[in-house]
Amino acid sequence: MTRKTTRIGSDLTRRNFVIGATGVAAGTLGMPAILQAQAASLKIGILHPVTGGLAYEGEQCRKGALLALEEINAAGGIKSKGGAKIEAVLADAQSKPDVGAAEVDRLAEAGVLAVQGPFASGIALATTQAAAKHNLPHLVDVGVVDQIVTRGLPNTFRFAPGFGKITSFALEALQKINSGAGSPAKTAVIVHEDGAFGSGMAKLLNEKLPGLGIQVTQTLSHPTPQRDFTNIALQIRQANPDLIIPSNYKNEFILMARTLQQQRVRPKVGIYAVLGGAASNVAFAKQYPEAAEHIMDCNHWYNPTKELSKAFARKVADKGWDLTYEVMLNYSCMRVLLDALERASAPTRAALTEALAASTYGDHLMPYGPTKFVNGQNEGAQPANTQILKGNVEVIYPAEFASAKVVFPIPQG
C-alpha cells in the first residue's frame, strides 16, 4: 500500500505541538499571576467525578452544590466579608483517585478556601490526604468509608454519616419496623456489589442480623457493572426469604428490580435496601412503578417536613432534575460551608477550618439537627428510612421526619 507523506500536515502538527508545549511549559513554570484573581470574590472548590463510571452521581452532586452557592450569592453573598460573592471553581475527579488528588492540588493553587466533594469513598481517601498538605479544609459530602475521618487529618470534615452509623441505624430501624409488625421477617438474602462499600456492608449485616432474630440464608455478590441478574433472581426464588437486602449502585439496582419482576420473584415480607442504588430514586419510582412499589431504603435523605426542603424540592422539580440524595447532601454541605465562612474571623483557610470545627449550623435539609463535628465527623448525622409508595419516595422512619406510614409486610399477590 502506498504511503503518502503529507508535508503540510506534518508542519501544522509540529507547530501546534510547539504552541501547546509552550502553554503547558508556562503553566509548569507556575505563572501564579494568571491564576490570582483579585479577591473581590471568595473561591470554593467543588470536586466531583463528572466523567467516568460515577458521572451521573457526580453531576448530581455538582448541581446541588452550585444551587446552594448561587442562592447565597443572590441573597447578598458573604455579608461579614463585605458582601463578597462566592466563586465556584469546578473540578472533575474523572472517577479516579489519582486525578482527584491532582485536582485538589490544582484547586489549592488556584486559591480556593475550601474543597467540597468528592462523592466516592476511594477518591475521598486520596483527596483528603492531598488537601491536608495544603491545610485546605475539605468537606466530604458523601463518601461513607470510615477511614476517611479516622486517619487524624485535621482539615477533613464529613457532614453525612459513615458506614458504621448507617448500618447500625439501618439495623435499629429494621428492628423497630419488624417488631412493630409482629416480627414477620425471620430470613433474609443479601445482594451486594463487590466493591468497597458493598462488601463492607454485607460483612456487617452478616454479623449483626442474627442478633435481630433474622437469619441470612444467602449472600450474593455481583460486580459493577453487572449485565444480567437472572441467576441472582433464581437463587433468591429458591431461598424464598422474608427479606431481600440489596446494597449496590443505581444501574444494577434497577436491573435487579426489573429482573425480579420479570421472574415473578417476590420476597414474603419486603425489600429492605441499605444504601440501595436506586431504592430511593424518584426517576426509577416513576418509570417502573410496579417494580418499585414498596421498596424500602435506608439511605441519605432529607427531612421532607422542613420548609426549606419543600422549597428545595420545588426548585429541583422546576429545573427538571432528579431528586436524589446527592443533590440534597451537596446543597446542605455548601450551606454549612458558607455559614462557616460567614463566621470565620478572616477569609483564610485556617480561619475557615476553625469556624467549621465550631459549627452548630442547623439550617440545612438533612434530618441531623445542629451540626457538630467531632474529629471531623458530624455527630448528629444519620440516614433515614424511605419507602416508595404510589410512585413517590416517602420517609417512613424516624417518626419525627416521616411523611407516610410504612407498609410492612408488603401485600402479597
Q: Which of residues 253-282 bind other proteins (CB under 8 A)?
A: 254-255, 258, 261-264
Helix (H) or strand (E) holding 257: helix 250-262
Q: Tell me if 27 contacts other proteins by CB under 8 A.
A: yes
Q: Is there binding between residue 97 and other proteins (CB under 8 A)?
A: yes
Q: How many CB atoms lie within 10 A of CB 253?
A: 26
Residues within window 47-66 making contact with other proteins, judged by CB under 8 A? 50-53, 55-56, 59
Q: What is the SS3 assignment for 390?
A: coil
Shortest distance (Å) from residue 98 CB to other proteins: 6
Dig out the grid coordinates for 195 from the structure: 466493591
Beta bridge partners of 293: none
Spatial contact of 338 and 344, defined as CB atoms under 8 Å apart: no
Which of 90, 308 has the CB closer to other proteins?
90
Question: Given the C-alpha cell 459513615, which residue does it identify?
Answer: 162
- CA–chain centroid gap for 160, Å, is 9
322 touches other proteins (CB under 8 A): yes
Instruction: Specify the pairing of strand 215-222 against strand 243-247.
Output: unpaired
Please state, in angstroms and rounded to a whole number, the distance separating the CA atoms of residues 283 and 393.
Answer: 10
HSE-CB for 206 with a 13 A CA cutoff? 13
Q: Among 36, 215, 230, 348, which residue sits at the site for other proteins (rule: CB under 8 A)?
A: 230
Q: Which is nearer to other proteins, 49 or 380 (CB)?
A: 49
Q: Which of 135, 238, 240, 348 binds other proteins (CB under 8 A)?
A: 238
Stretch that binds other proteins, among 13-21, 296-304, 357-365, 384-392 (CB under 8 A): 13-21
Q: Beta-strand (E) ranges in 264-317? A: 270-274, 296-299
In angstroms, what is the minimal distance from the CB of 284 to other proteins?
9
Which residue from 65, 69, 92, 139 is in contact with other proteins, where contact means CB under 8 A? 92
Joined grid coordinates for residue 185: 421477617
Q: How far is the CB of 166 from other proteins (least distance, A)?
A: 16
Q: Which residue has the cell 505563572?
A: 31
232 part of the interface to other proteins, by CB under 8 A = yes
Q: Based on the shown chain and the rule CB under 8 A, indicate whether residue 34 belongs to the binding site for other proteins.
A: no
Site for other proteins in 134-173 (CB under 8 A): 134, 145, 147, 151
Q: Among 3-11, 301-309, 335-343, 354-362, which window interacts with other proteins (CB under 8 A)? A: 3-11
